[in-house]
Amino acid sequence: FGICLATNQNLAQLVLDQNGIGNIGAAAIGSGLRQNQTLQQLGLRYNRIGNDGAVALAQGIKDNACLMRLALWNNDIGPEGAIAFGKALEHNTRLQQLGLRRNPIGEEGVVGLARGLATNTSLLRLGLSHAQVGDTGAAALGDMLTCNSRLEQLGLQHNHIGDSGVIELAKGLKDNQSLQQLHLYHNQIRNDGAAALGEQLSTTKRKILTHLSLHDNDVGEIGLSILTSALQDSTIQHLTLHGNPGYDETFFPVATTTTTAPSSVIVLTPQNSNDDSLQLFPQDPLGKSQDDDKSKSNATHVGYNNEDKNDNENHVVNGDSNPGVNPGVNTNDFGKEITD
């Protein structure tokens, strides 16, 4: 298969989810990626790929000049594999989306991944939910954000991140000039962490963050008050706070129009939080490009487990509420769900 991939001149999208590919299969694909010049999207979710397979895939994308989207959800990739991807990203200048959700990457792996991202100039979206990021990993990503000027969306939900981690992460936001969406819901953030986010976002040199998801943490009323007050002079358009101990709909209205911010600050409630605005990629995930237009005419799509599109979209919005069930992959919706 690796030889076929290396010599194929037509395939633009390949989805091989739930095929038991494992390390040997991943190594073959990685070998093929070293020479392939057409593949733009690759889905390898639910395939029992471990560190050896991840290292091989990372070697494959290191000098690959065409792959734009890579989804590796629900595999067995640990620290070693994540570090390998970090090293690959130091050299790769094409990959724009990387989904590593539900892999036991751990803090050590995130540190290595962040090290590579610090100098990367191509990656736009990174999904690390359920990846055991922790406070050390969050701090490493904060350091990365002080250097990286390309990443636009970062998913860190369900990662046991507490105040110490988010305080360091927030420091990276102060000088960052690219991040537009940050998802931190279902962590362990309290008042100090929320206050730190508000402080850094209100004093950042170039206000650019538009989406901040903080629902289902441990923030009290004091922390939420400090945060929302600080964000009145920010670019935040969508802010989710429900599920925190201090959240009260009577105190935090559904929509508050500010006089100083360039757009409204919207506090989404559980009833209206299933809006397309919470999806990482509500429209075309990368915007139109010449490469995308070219691929439409000669793309060969290979997909498995294609199920109802609506089920797939609900899975994206609701944050994998039923992780034991693979919601399926819709090849036309590939980019929208790749790094949630």
Residues 173, 241 within the same domain: yes
- The whole-angstrom separation of Cα 113 and Cα 141 is 9
Contacts of 283 by beta carbon, 8 Å cutoff, 6+ apart:
none
Could you tell me the two tokens for 157? 């939900």
CATH number of the domain that 167 lies in? 3.80.10.10
Domain boundary among 272, 301, 327: 272
Decide if 317 is inside a domain: yes
Determine the structural domain holding residue 330 and report its residue range: 1-95+286-340
Residues of the chain below pLDDT 50? 253-265, 271-336, 338-339
From the list 280, 283, 257, 256, the residue with the least C-alpha distance to 269 is: 256
Residues 220, 340 within the same domain: no
Decide if 107 is inside a domain: no
Residues 250, 188 within the same domain: yes
Residues 291, 165 within the same domain: no
- Mark 204-233 as b/e (b = at least 16 C-beta within 10 Å): beebbbbbbbbbbbbbeeebbbbbbebbeb
pLDDT of residue 69: 97
Residues 316, 193 within the same domain: no
Residues 157, 229 within the same domain: yes
Decide if 59 is inside a domain: yes
pLDDT of residue 186: 98
pLDDT of residue 210: 93
pLDDT of residue 337: 53
Beta carbons within 10 angstroms of residue 37's beta carbon: 11
- How many domains in the chain? 2
Domain boundary among 248, 272, 296: 272
| Tens digits of residue pLDDT in 149-187 | 999 999 999 999 999 999 999 999 988 999 999 999 999
Could you tell me the two tokens for 257? 């129009």
pLDDT of residue 63: 87
Decide if 111 is inside a domain: no
pLDDT of residue 232: 83
| Tens digits of residue pLDDT in 34-48 | 999 999 999 999 999
pLDDT of residue 8: 84
In the chain, the percentage of residues whose pLDDT exceeds 90 is 63
Decide if 278 is inside a domain: no
